[in-house]
Structure formats: C-alpha cells, structure tokens
Amino acid sequence: MHNYAEIQIRRAELSEVDAIKDILREAYKPIRKELSRVPGALKEGMDKIARHIQMGNQYVALVGNEIAGTMRVGMRGQVGVVSRMAVREKFRNRRIGTIMVEYADSLLDRQNAKCVEIEVYGSIDYQADFYDRMGFSEVERKERAGEEIIVMRKDLCKDEEIPEEDEFLI
C-alpha cells in the first residue's frame, strides 16, 4: 500500500536539472518509436530546464527524498498550461500523476486561470485517456512537425451563485 501523504510537490531547484532531464528521457523512451520525430522535451537542453527552474514554473514530485516526477506549470494569458509532465517508471500507478495534475489545477486556480490546457500526442492513447479521467476534454487537434497533437482543456471557472433579486430595489 502506498502512503499518499509522503508525496510532496514543490518548485524544482537548480541542482535537480539532471534528475528532471533523466525523468523526461525515461518517460519518453517507450513512446519514441510511436512518434515520427524526437519529442521537443527530449531536445531541450539543460540550460532551458534551468531557465524554467529560475522562472519558478518547473515542479518536482518527491516520494521521500527521491524525485519521482516533474511538470512545468505556467500561464498563457488567462489560460493555465501544464507541460513536460512525467513520472519515473518505478513510481507509476501510484497516483503520483493524478496528484501532480490536482496540484497544478489548484496552483493555476489561485492564479485566476480560467482553464487549464495540456497537449498530448494523438498516437499515444493512454495520454489522452489519463487526462480525460482527470476532467479534461479534447478541444482541438492540430499537426506539429508531422505529429498529431490533441489539445485538452479543463474549465476552472466555478458555477457562481446568482444572488437573489432584492425585492426592495427598483
């Protein structure tokens, strides 16, 4: 049984650049053969990851003292964006990805995002299925460098209560 209380999510530190790159490499390894090109996450250099850490939008999930996963969370206008999300193979199927998405949703909600957007590869069914279970819906399909990309979105707007009309106001 896995204790979810031992999972901590926090901003990444510069000393963790190598670990983040390793997690991304490991996560993309099984899907590379299904794609027609090398994913952008694998082309990213350590300097770009370090820059995102310095900007404060690269996060890590820790199980104990070990980095189990990573994601990038930011804003594009009023749209929250989650990208470069990956969990180490030995930590998969322990709800770490779910906890990371919930953390990102909460973080972006506090930043007044209207919705959260994520892009997944059209040829990798389990990616879209995971986000579908997390409340995301497909909003667009597009092509990027020969790959079909599915844009998925989750609305963060709460149904606001409509105040009852004050019968004394004219």
60 against 27, higher pLDDT: 60
**Token pair for 17:** 């650049």
What confidence score (pLDDT) does residue 140 get?
Answer: 94
pLDDT of residue 6: 86
3-class SS string, the chain: CCCHHHEEEEECCHHHHHHHHHHHHHHHCCCHHHCCCCCHHHHCCHHHHHHHHHHCCEEEEEECCEEEEEEEEEEECCEEEEEEEEECHHHCCCCHHHHHHHHHHHHHHHCCCCEEEEEEECCCHHHHHHHHHCCCEEEEEEEECCEEEEEEEEECCCCCCCCCCCCCCC
Within a domain: residue 169? no
Closest CA to 113 of 71, 159, 63, 154: 154
Could you tell me if residue 131 is inside a domain?
yes
Is 142 domain-assigned?
yes
* Mean pLDDT rounded to a whole number for the chain: 88
Q: What is the pLDDT of residues 56-106, one digit of tens each?
A: 999 999 999 999 999 999 999 999 999 999 999 999 999 999 999 999 999
Residue type, 104: A
Structural domains counted in the chain: 1
Instruction: Write the CATH number for 26.
Output: 3.40.630.30
Please give the pLDDT value at position 98. 96
83: tokens are: 């990208």
- Greatest alpha-carbon pair distance for the chain in Å reads 69
Q: Which stretch, 31-35, 123-127, 148-152, has highest mean pLDDT?
A: 148-152
Q: Is the residue at 166 inside a domain?
A: no
Evaluate whether residue 164 is within a structural domain.
Answer: no
Of 8, 17, 14, 42, residue with least CA distance to 27: 42
Q: In this structure, is residue 59 part of a structural domain?
A: yes
Domain that holds residue 95: 4-155
Asked if the structure places residue 165 within a domain, the reply is no
R_g of the chain, CA atoms, integer Å: 18
The tens digit of pLDDT for each residue in 105-140 reads 999 999 999 999 999 988 888 899 999 999 999 999
Mean pLDDT score, 12-20: 97
Does residue 119 fall inside a structural domain? yes
Cβ pair 75, 104 in contact under 8 A: no
